[in-house]
Structure 1
Amino acid sequence: MHRAELLEEIAGRYGVAAEYPWRRYPQYAVFRHAGNRKWFAVLMNPPGRKLGLATEEEVAILNVKIRAEENSLLRGMDGVLPAYHMNKEHWVSLRLDVLPDATLLDLLADSYDLTRAKMRRVSPRTTFYD
């Protein structure tokens, strides 16, 4: 999947625009939930060597949150790497140029669900969102 397609897909599915919080890395984009402001994805293009690859070329990746129990299974897939600059137990980096679009979008959807506000009950009549 190409970067432009991914940006369009995220805007269409989740109604959020990319945020570019780092002046030093103007192409690095963060995607947050509107309500709780939690990140559900980070789009970056670090040099391959920083990802453990044998290249200096930039590699387009999307960091997404995962269930910790799925980490070893996912990391065994071609195109799934330890998370770049994130908690490596709960996040992975997905190579845009390797993973099939459907797999990438499924993992993005899981990340969105894992990071959204959870409903919790305080009393029988009151519901709050975290």
Structure 2
Amino acid sequence: MINRTQIFDLAKDSYHIHPDYPWGKYPSYAVLRQHHNGKWFGLIMDISKDKLNLVGNEKIDILNLKAPKEFIGPLRKKIGVYPAYHMDKSNWISINLNEIDNLHEVRDLIAESFALTS
């Protein structure tokens, strides 16, 4: 299991970026955005499991990332990767942080999302 603090630390160490919390109504929703253009490359939200068609209503942390269109299908076949919640599903994926153990794999996906939004 990966937690949001690990993602924030990775963003800080790799890109010198700190999370932004733009919605007062959703104080735990954190945006990771490029400094030079303000575009999002990541979004962490706590949502109920049923939003990803999982069983249960308990809250989970997800990370939305942009991915190349040709990789979306294969990525969704991996454990913990889902069609993007509340984003364009042809360009974004949602990662259930509770199901992912490999921070290196997520680091690569974050790097890809960062590059795609540059």
TM-score above 0.5, yes or no:
yes
Name the structure 1 match of 2:114.
112
Q: Gaps spanning 5+ residues in structure 2: where?
A: none
Name the structure 2 match of 1:48.
49
Q: Return the offset for 1:72.
A: 0.8
Query: Which is higher, the Rg of structure 1 or of structure 2?
Result: 1
SS for the counterpart of 1:78 is coil
Pairing of 1:18-29 with structure 2 (within 5 A)? 18-29=19-30
Could you state the TM-score of these two structures normalised by the residue count of structure 2? 0.94
SS for the counterpart of 2:19 is coil
Aligned residue type for 2:55? A
Q: Return the offset for 1:4.
A: 1.4
Aligned residue type for 1:65? K
Pairing of 1:1-130 with structure 2 (within 5 A)? 1-99=2-100, 100-116=102-118
**Deviating runs (4+, > 2 A) in structure 1?**
none
Q: Return the offset for 1:105.
A: 1.1
Aligned residue type for 1:103? E
Q: How many percent identity over aligned positions? A: 38
Name the structure 2 match of 1:124.
none
RMSD, matched Cα = 0.8
SS for the counterpart of 1:70 is helix
Name the structure 2 match of 1:127.
none
Equivalent pairs, count:
116
Q: Deviations over 1:52-92 (max 9, x none)?
A: 11111111110000000111100100100110110000000
Distance in 2 (alpha carbons) for counterparts of 1:6 and 1:38: 17
Aligned residue type for 2:19? A
Q: Return the offset for 1:98.
A: 1.4
SS for the counterpart of 1:61 is strand
Higher RCO by CA contacts (8 Å cutoff, separation 6 or greater): 2
